[in-house]
A and B are shown apart, each in its own frame.
Chain A
Amino acid sequence: MSAAMATRIYIPSDTTAKALGADRVARVIEATAKEQGVELEIVRNGTRALYWLDPLIEVDTPEGRFGYGPVTVKDVDSLFAAEFWSGETAHPLAVGLVEEIPYLKRQQRLTFSRAGVTDPLSLSDYEAHDGYKGLRNALKLEAQGIVDAVKASGLRGRGGAAFPTGIKWQTVLDANSPEQQKQKYIVCNADEGDSGTFADRLVMECDPFMLIEGMTIAGLAVGATQGYIYLRSEYPLADKNLNAAIESAYANNLLGEDILGSGRHFDLEVRVGAGAYICGEETSLLESLEGKRGLVRAKPPLPAIVGLFGQPTVVNNVLSLAAVPFILDKGAQAYADCGMGRSRGTLPFQVAGNVKQGGLVELAFGPTLRELMFDFAGGTRNGRPLRAVQVGGPLGAYLPESQWDTPLDYEEFAKVGAVLGHGGVVMFDDTVDMGEQARFSMEFCVAESCGKCTPCRIGSTRGVEVIDRIHAGQNVDANLELLSDLCETMLDGSLCAMGGMTPFPVQSAVKHFGEDFVKHSTSEHLNSVLEEA
């Protein structure tokens, strides 16, 4: 190959690809290419998040990108022997054209259209793939016009509560005292604490400009000039990439006092959390941003009216804000055209736990949980039967097989007492002990409660003790009843969903997997317990 014709190859660089050895593979490929005189241009892309194939190496060809994966250091010699850079070869790791892989091809990647395609930190790459078109359109609109577009898209908050984003923005836009223009804030909730979720992380690591653009548009929409991204401390790479992208946005007039010469002003800063799950709750998050303990505030007043430092504040999840550039670029209708019922657009599902083909599956609302777990994800990693699935994070219910045909839709999930939350799907095989899982839910609440209300703080501790007694076979009937009462008290008497939803996984475990709670006893009450539940 001549020097002018260096073949471009892509090696992923998100946290999971790195954890699977992508950096080592990149170093060895680079050294081998040099040694053998092969001209390669190595681009570190984000990841497609087809994690069973990561590190997935892609080769640019006129037909599209050919993939090889999962590549380890041991495979590099044979890849070079097969001249992998020439496109498709007979190498055993060849997976063909990446965009033809059914797992990817059958998705509707609106928010994740660039993930794994571009170099996350290249602004020119971002702009070459529709980046900043949404902001350019927004700059031509009045604030109300932007809010109207978001309303018309039907976008609902992706952080868990599914509140309509446009309505929240309207409240903040309208929150002006007559005598003064108030300082307003855009706060991005990047606390992503739910186990089984990583879509926010992927946005920040693989396409950080999209979040910056979304927040800038939000600022224009409500009249806010300052934004904060509250990022969990467990995401060091996201921190690095966000800060690098913010720096580059400032250098190119995409942040600061005169955005693209419009005279409009928006500043943005990353603030790192400190390992507290409750700080994902929006008012706790605001307290934390103010430098305090993350104690949940009573609502009302809503943060939209009295938020950060007492000012009107938009608090939105990463995915909610990341959907905005698409809506302003392709139009509200293009977004609303996807989905079912009142769930419009797409939800990036994250398939995790004991899963064969784990990763990110962005889908228009509507397919069933079973399709996601089997047609996409291929069942469990170890091949054992799937038994229980927790959807929507640690406060979400466990679903038994009888509920796997539920469509992925906010309202349909609510009907079976479950939540979609942030789209995390955690799969467990038949070795799971659901008594242990219920105990963990209570234990997690003990560890993460902000401590403000008694049912949450004390109730969860009692919950652990009661489940331990059930596990030990002590007065199983009476203790199950006690557990049920305790759950009711937490449901009714908690200020926020931490205490108010911890009963969801616990009660669903008892209801659908009751045999795990009584298997340690000689109980003849088994049937009565199960019927009662």
Chain B
Amino acid sequence: MNTPGSVSWEPTAAQAIIDELKSKPGALLPILHAIQNRFAYVPEEAVALIAPALKLSRAEVHGVISFYHHFRTHQPGRHVVEICRAEACQAQGSRALEAHAKSSLGVDYHGTTADRAITLEPVYCLGNCSCGASVRVGDEIYARMTPESFDELVDGLRTERLEVLS
């Protein structure tokens, strides 16, 4: 659902998504999801196409995008790593985990590492609350995370990319 691809902006593909969904009742969220699933974020160019299709102003579309934590308006890194900040994970050491993640990646929440491999995001609950601390990457959830297993995960994500390239 939110695995960023490296898809570049294609207005015709975006328009096709919009045309397919615009007649649904309450179409804006389904459209924003479909656009973000395809392009990894909601580019300004997409807003310019969505607004007239739904007879909304661009400001209204922006208002909706900014209300929801899930939608992004900038290209993220190759992987979005979400750390659960909620109480059940706090009880299992997530405060230390998030501090470690920020310092080892050298970014704060919403930031992207210099090599553009990873964007770090907070998330409030992944429903894996008996086996925290929890982390999500794409559609995968990781259980009982510690600073050590977090480093392994990140190393894996970084080398995955290198393997594909080599």
Enumerate chain A interface residues (CB-CB to B < 8 A).
15-16, 18-20, 49, 51-52, 192-198, 201, 233-237, 239, 271-277, 288-294, 309, 350-355, 358-359, 381, 390, 394, 424, 426-429, 432, 436-437, 440, 444, 447-448
Contact = CB atoms under 8 A, between A and B. Distances in A.
A300 B136 CA distance: 39
Contacts of A353: 87-88, 90-92, 129, 132
B69 A197 contact: no
Given A15-B141, A239-B1, A274-B33, A394 B87 contact: yes
B89 interface: yes
Interface in B57-76: 63-64, 67-71
Contacts of B126: 15, 234
Interface stretch (B4-12, B20-28, B99-107, B157-165): B20-28
A273 B28 CA distance: 11
Interface in B78-122: 86-92, 95
Given A275-B123, A352-B88, A440-B90, A291 B64 contact: yes
9 contacts: A15-B128, A18-B140, A237-B139, A273-B70, A274-B29, A294-B67, A354-B91, A426-B129, A429-B91
B70 A233 contact: yes
B14 interface: no
Interface residues of B, number: 44
A426 B69 contact: no
A19 B131 contact: yes
Contacts of B2: 233
Contact of B128 (A198, A309, A355, A394): A198
Given A236-B1, A354-B92, A289 B26 contact: yes
A427 B90 contact: no
A424 B140 CA distance: 23
A16 B68 contact: no
A327 to B, nearest CB: 26
Interface in B27-73: 27-30, 32-33, 54, 63-64, 67-71
B87 A195 contact: yes
B17 interface: no
A19, A239, A436 — most chain B CB neighbours (10 Å)? A19
Nearest to A239: B1
Contact of B87 (A51, A192, A233, A426): A426
Given A272-B29, A274-B32, A437 B87 contact: yes
Contacts of B136: 234
Given A19-B142, A274-B71, A292 B64 contact: yes
A286 B157 CA distance: 38
Contacts of B71: 274
Contacts of A16: 127-128, 130-131, 141, 143
B124 A277 contact: yes
Contact of A195 (B29, B124, B142, B144): B124
A125 B25 CA distance: 34
B68 A274 contact: yes
Contacts of A237: 139
Nearest to B89: A195
Contacts of B140: 18-19
B154 interface: no
A436 B98 CA distance: 15
A444 B85 CA distance: 10
Given A19-B128, A198-B127, A292-B64, A271 B26 contact: yes
**A20, A195, A196, A355: residue with the most chain B Cβ atoms closer than 10 Å:** A195
Contacts of A192: 125, 127
A300 B103 CA distance: 49
A235 B87 contact: no
B127 A235 contact: yes
B28 A291 contact: yes
A355 B25 contact: no
A394 B84 CA distance: 14
Contacts of A277: 124
Contact of B131 (A20, A195, A427): A20
Contacts of B143: 16, 19-20
A353 B129 CA distance: 6
A419 B128 CA distance: 22
Contacts of A272: 1, 29-30, 33
B42 to A, nearest CB: 11
Nearest to B65: A274
Nearest to B135: A19
Given A233-B1, A291-B26, A293-B64, A193 B90 contact: no
A330 B33 CA distance: 40
Contacts of B91: 352-354, 426-429, 432
A237 B136 CA distance: 12
A49 B128 CA distance: 11
Contact of A234 (B64, B123, B144): B123
The 5 A-B residue pairs with the shortest CB-CB distance, nearest first, are A358-B130, A195-B86, A353-B91, A291-B28, A352-B129
